[in-house]
Amino acid sequence: MGSRIEGLLENLRKVPDGEIISEAEFKHPLSFLQPWGFTIYRTYYEPGSDQRWDELIQSITNGAKDAIRGNVKPTDDPAMIAKTEELFKPDARSDPAVLDGLALEEVRQLYHNGTGGQPMNTDRDPWRIFILADREVLTNPNLGMIKCVAADYDAAACVPKNPRFGPQRYFGWLRMSPNHVLKLWFELDIYFIKQIVNFAAGGPGAWWDPDAEC
């Protein structure tokens, strides 16, 4: 059975249509790989927030690369590990003219409209997720939280039809540590974000801690 890193790379493989490709190139495991990560929208631009934004992006990047190294198996090819790190390229978007002060639902609409260019993972369900860096995120004292938002959340469809099943648990987004981007990517290979939220405490902005799960 291959490692999780190997599986990640396999999911990133996208052979172009209509091109003549040699057999050797087709079979090479590091060919035709797309970048991975999530589009990150910044909606808070008060004085001092530029540095916080830069620090957040660096924290997300460092956390992902540290997690890659933490998932290495002895049998993994070092070139494969290096490629996985190289391909982590979060799409960080900071444009006050477009994004300043937008609410979560407004940012979701930008994702669907492709404003500012096509976001990451639009053709890769269930990774159709974006990260929101709003006031709450960028004023967090330790920058210890990010918001991960489902692009395709349907609020009306998620209201429970039968009260016997309890209150609504899923509201289309969760909070988590910026260090857990790789773990979220792995989980989305198995579950949709709705299931991940339901495994957590549930509720608006449920906190997801994969290290606390049994």
Q: Which tens digits make up the pLDDT trace of 107-161? A: 999 999 999 999 999 999 899 999 999 999 999 999 999 999 999 999 888 887 8
Mean pLDDT of 86-96: 98
Q: Which of 12, 23, 209, 43 is nearest to 135 (CA)?
A: 43
Which of 11, 5, 53, 63 minimizes the C-alpha distance to 34?
Answer: 11
Above 70 in pLDDT, residue 29?
A: no
Express each pLDDT in 173-213 by its tens digit. Answer: 999 999 999 999 999 999 999 999 988 877 889 999 998 86
214 in a structural domain = no
pLDDT score for 23: 57
**Has residue 106 been placed in a domain?**
yes
Of 170, 166, 188, the C-alpha closest to 38 is 188
pLDDT for residue 2 is more than 90: no
CA distance 163 to 106: 30
Report the 10 Å Cβ neighbour count for 143.
19
What pLDDT sits at residue 17? 66
Q: 26-35 long-range contacts, Cβ below 8 Å, gap at least 24?
A: 29/80, 30/79, 30/80, 30/83, 33/9, 33/83, 33/87, 34/87, 35/87, 35/88, 35/89, 35/120
Q: Is 109 within a domain?
A: yes
Provide the domain limits for residue 59. 37-151+166-208
Of the pLDDT bands very low, low, confident and very high (cuts 50, 70, 90), residue 1 is very low
The confidence score (pLDDT) of residue 214 equals: 44
The answer to whether residue 29 sits within a structural domain is no
Mean pLDDT score across all residues of the chain: 91
**What's the pLDDT at 106?**
98
Q: Looking at the domain assignment, is residue 93 inside a domain?
A: yes
Max mean pLDDT among 17-21, 57-61, 202-206 falls in 57-61
Q: Using the Cα atoms of residue 27, residue 123, residue 111 and residue 131 in order, give the sign of their dihedral.
A: negative
Residue 2: inside a domain? no
Q: Check which CATH number belongs to the domain holding 98 and give it.
A: 3.40.50
pLDDT score for 161: 81
The three state secondary structure string of the chain is CCCHHHHHHHHHECCCCCCCCCHHHHHCCCCCECCECCEEEECCCCCCHHHHHHHHHHHHHHHHHHHHHHCCCCCCCHHHHHHHHHHECCEEECCHHHHCCCCHHHHHHHHHHCCCCCCCCCCCCCCCEEEEECHHHHCCCCCCCEEEEECCCCCHHHCCCCHHHCCCCCCCEEEECHHHHHHHHHHCCCCCHHHHHHHCCCCCCEECCHHHCC
Domain membership of residue 10 (yes or no) is no
Residue 20, pLDDT > 70, answer: no
Give domain status of residue 43, yes or no: yes
- % of the chain beyond a pLDDT of 70: 91
- 80: pLDDT strictly greater than 70: yes
For residues 90-99, average pLDDT: 98
User: Count of domains in the chain?
Assistant: 1
| pLDDT of the residue at 156 | 86
Asked if 56 contacts 137 with a C-beta cutoff of 8 angstroms, the reply is yes
